[in-house]
Amino acid sequence: MLNNKSILITGGTGSFGKSFIKIIINKFKKINKLIIFSRDELKQYEMEELYPKSKYPFMRFFLGDVRDQERLMSAVEGVDYLIHAAALKQVPAAEYNPFEFVKTNVIGAQNIVQACLKSNVKKVISLSTDKAVSPVNLYGATKLCSDKIFLSANNFKGKKKITFSVVRYGNVAGSRGSVMPYLVNSKKNNKIVNLTDKKMTRFNISLEDGVEMVLWSLKNTVGGEIVIPKIPSYRIMDLLKATGNEKNYKIVGIRLGEKINEELLGTADAINTIDIGKYYITLPTIKDKKILGYYNKFNYKKLKSDFSYNSGNNKKFLSVSELKKIISNL
C-alpha cells in the first residue's frame, strides 16, 4: 500500500510519529519518500541520528509549523498521503492559552486542507481525540473544529482526487505527558499523586494499535468518515493499584475542563454510525456512492439511536494485572 508512495506526517517527532515511522519502514520496503514535518529541531536531529541518510535515503526532515501555510505548501509537493498528528494537547495549558491552541489545532487544520487541495495529495488522515466528543474544554473544542474542517473539505474538493478522513481514539498508553508515566514517576520519586476523582475512567489504546488503525484507514476510507476503534477502558483507582500508588494520593477535585468519563461516540452521532466489527464508522449524512460502498464491503450493524460509547459504559475494562503488563512494557 505504501510502497512507491510519498508520505508526510505532521508532528512526526511525537509519540505517534515515532511509532508510525518504526512500523511502516519495517513493513514497507519500497517507500518513495517519508517526510517528517515538525517544529522541534532537537527532536528532528535525534531522529536523524536514529535514521541516518546512508541507511534510510528515502527519509526527509522538514522543519516547519502547521501555522505556516507557505511552508506546508513546500512540504506537500509530490506527497501521496498525509497523516496529521501535530497538535497542542495539554488540557490545562489550553485553558490558560486558548488562542495558541486555536492557531495550531484549528487554523493549522485549515492550512493543511488548503495546502493539500493545491497539490496532488491523494489521501489525508487526521488524528483526533475522545475529548472532541461533546467537548467541555478548549482543547476538545479545537479538535472538534479541526475534525469538522477536515470532513467538510470533501465537500469542496471539486474534481480533485483527494479524500479527507478522521480517526479518533483515547489515551495512548505511555505517550508523552499521559497519566501512566506520571504515576510511575510519582511512585519512583515517592511523590503524592494528585487524584481528581476516584470514579474517573479513561479509554486506553497502544501506539501500535493507533498506527494499525491509521494504516487501515489509508487502505479503506473513502472520505468524510470518522473511524473509531473498540478499545478497553480502565478505572483510575485500578491504575493507581497497578503503579503502587493506591495509598499515595490525595483528592484535589476535577480540574477545569475534565470529565469523569470520556466519550468516543455520542448519541447525536449514533444515527449515522455503523459497527463493522473492529471499528465504529461515523459516516457523513450525505450518502454518496462511495459511502454506500461501506454497506457492500463490510458486515455491519446499525446502532440504536440512543447508543453512546464512553469509557464508563464500556464492555471491556483492563484489570490491574493487565495494566501492570502494559506499564512494564512502557
Which residues does residue 79 pair with via DSSP β-bridges, in sequence order?
none
Residue type, 302: K
* Nearest-angstrom CA–CA distance, 161 and 174: 37
Query: By C-alpha distance, which of 213, 219, 218, 223 is closest to 280?
Result: 213
Place of cell 514497507: 28
Cell of 224: 468524510
Q: Which residues are catalytic?
A: 131
The answer to whether 110 and 67 have CB atoms below 8 angstroms apart is no
Task: Give Cα separations from 8 to 2, 23, 146, 238 (angstroms).
Answer: 12, 15, 18, 38
Q: What are phi and psi of 293, to 5 degrees?
A: -60, -25
Cα dihedral sign for 139, 196, 316, 245?
Answer: positive
Which has the closest alpha carbon to 264: 281, 277, 283, 284?
281
Pair 203, 230: CB distance under 8 Å = no
The label of the residue with cell 491552541 reads: 101
